[in-house]
Amino acid sequence: MKIKEIFPGVFRIGDDLFTKNLVPGEKVYGERLVKINGVEYRFWDPFRSKPASAIKKGLKTFPLEEDSNILYLGAATGTTISHFSDIAKNGVIYAVEISEVPYRKLMDLSKKRFNIVPILADARKEKEYSDFIFGKVNVVYCDISQPDEVEIFIRNCEKYLKDDGYGMVAVKSRSIDVVKDPMEIYREAEKKIKAVGYEHLETVKLDPFEKDHAIIVCKKTK
C-alpha cells in the first residue's frame, strides 16, 4: 500500500490518516493499528479528532513538527493529544484540562507517553499553570467550547506562544451563540484574531465530521 507523508508525522494510507505509534502495541481509544514495513501506525479518526477532520477537509497549514512544543487547551481524555504526541515525539505537549474525570484518563496517558504534561487547571486563568511551562511554545491549540473561547485563546497565545508561532482554535459556533449563523461567528472570531495583530491563515469548516465547527489557523507576527 502507498504511504504518503502529507504533513510531518501525518501519513495518508489509502484514504485514511495515520500517525506513527509512539508506544507500539498500545491503543489509546480503541483505534485501528496497522503495521507496514515493521512500523506501526495508528488510525486517526476524523470523526473523533478535529485536527484530523480539518486535514481531511483540506487544511493547508498544519504547524506541528517533530520537536514542536505545544500548549493544548481543553485536553479532555487525550484522544487528539495522543496523535499530537505521536507527531511531536521530541517535543512537549502541555495538556490543560479543567474537569477531573477526563483528567484522570489524561494522567494515565501521560504515564505511557512521556511527552505529555497533564495540567489540571482552567484555561481561562492562564497564569495559574505558568509553573509548568518553561520557555514559550511553538503551537497553541485550543478546543474548549466556551462562549469566550477566542478571547481565552488569544490570552494564552499572548502569554505562551513564540513570536513566530502558530495558533489553532477549534470554534464550536453553537457554544458561542446558538441563534447566529455559524459563518458569521467564524468571521467574528477571525476579526478578533486579526485585531491583536495575528495573521489569519485559513478557516476550515469541519462538517460533515463535526456539525457547526471550524478550525481557524493563525500565525503570531510581531
Partner 1 sequence: MKAYVITTMFGVFAFNENGKLIDKIYFEKNAEIAAKKLVESKKDLINEEKKIIETLKNSGFDVVFVNEKVGYPVDKSKEEELKAKIRQLLISEKRFSNPAELARYSAEVASNLAKTKLKEVKKDKIIAHIVQAIDEVEKIINTLVERIREIYALYFPEMEKKVKDHEKFIKMISSEPDRDKIKGFEKEAEETVGMEFSDYDLEIVKEFSTNIRNLMSFKKRLEKYLEDLMEETAPNLKEIAGIKLGAKLIKAAGGLEKLAKLPSSTIQLLGAEKALFRFLRGRGKPPKHGYIFVHPYIQSAPKRLRGKIARALASKIMVAARIDFFSKEYKADEIKKDLEKRIKEIYESDKKKKGR
* Contact positions vs partner 1 (CB under 8 A): 90, 92, 100, 103-104, 107, 110, 114-120, 130-136, 178-179
State phi, psi for 130 to the nearest 5 degrees.
-65, -20
**Smallest separation (angstroms) from partner 1 to the CB of 87:** 15
List % helix, strand, coil for the chain (3-state, nearest 5): 30, 30, 40
Distance of closest approach, residue 58 Cβ to partner 1, in angstroms: 31
The amino acid present at 111, given as its one-letter code, is K
| DSSP 8-state code for residue 99 | -
> Closest approach of Cβ 56 to partner 1, in Å?
30
Buried b (16+ CB within 10 A) or exposed e, 46-58: bebbbbbbbbbbe
Whole-number minimum distance, CB 117 to partner 1, in Å?
4
Nearer Cβ to partner 1 (13/102) = 102
By beta-carbon proximity to partner 1, the closer residue of 120 and 201 is 120
Q: Which is nearer to partner 1, 11 or 103 (CB)?
A: 103
Q: Is the peptide bond before 118 cis (omega within 30 degrees of 0)?
A: no
3-state secondary structure of 158: helix
Residue 109: alpha-carbon gap to chain centroid: 16
Alpha-carbon distances, residue 130 vs 119, 126, 134, 171, 193 (angstroms): 10, 7, 8, 24, 23
For partner 1, the closer of residues 46 and 182 by Cβ is 182
| Residue 83: CB minimum distance to partner 1, A | 18
Instruction: For partner 1, give the closer residue by CB, 1 or 178.
Output: 178
Q: Taking CA 149 as the corner, what is the angle to CA 172 and CA 178, rounded to the nearest 5 degrees? A: 40
Q: How far is the CB of 116 from partner 1 (least distance, A)?
A: 6
Q: In the complex with partner 1, which residue's Cβ is closer, 34 or 117?
A: 117
